[in-house]
C-alpha cells in the first residue's frame, strides 16, 4: 500500500478509536468533510499544517499519525513529481 493509503487507514483507525465521525473530526480540524474522506481513502495527502490540525483534533501528537507508516517499496521520489531544474 502506498504512503497515502497507509496514512488514510491510520487516520481512519485513530478517528474511529476516538469515537469520532468524519463530520466531527472535520469540524474539529477546521476542514471540509469531503477532503477528510479523500485523505482517509488515500486519494489526497494533507499539508503539514493540516496534519497538525488533525493531530490536535484527535488529541495526539502529529508524530503519532505517522508512526506506523512503512516506507518499504516506495520509489526514491515517493511517487511525487520532482521540480524542474532551472
- Please give the grid coordinates belonging to residue 49: 499544517
- Please give the grid coordinates belonging to residue 1: 500500500
pTM to 2 decimals? Answer: 0.80
Domain limits, the chain: 3-65
**Topology given in CATH for the domain delimited by 3-65:** 434 Repressor (Amino-terminal Domain) (1.10.260)
pLDDT (tens digit per residue) in 41-84: 999 999 999 999 999 999 999 999 999 999 876 555 555 565 66
Banded model confidence at residue 86, pLDDT cuts 50, 70, 90: low
Other beta carbons less than 10 A from residue 51's beta carbon: 19
Amino acid at each position: 500500500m502506498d504512503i497515502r493509503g497507509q496514512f488514510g487507514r491510520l487516520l481512519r483507525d485513530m478517528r474511529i478509536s476516538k469515537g469520532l465521525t468524519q463530520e466531527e473530526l472535520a469540524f474539529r480540524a477546521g476542514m471540509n468533510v469531503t477532503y477528510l474522506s479523500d485523505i482517509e481513502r488515500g486519494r489526497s495527502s494533507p499539508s503539514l499544517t493540516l496534519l497538525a490540525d488533525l493531530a490536535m483534533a484527535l488529541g495526539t501528537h502529529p508524530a503519532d499519525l505517522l508512526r506506523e507508516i512503512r516506507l518499504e517499496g516506495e520509489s526514491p521520489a515517493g511517487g511525487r513529481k520532482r521540480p524542474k531544474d532551472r
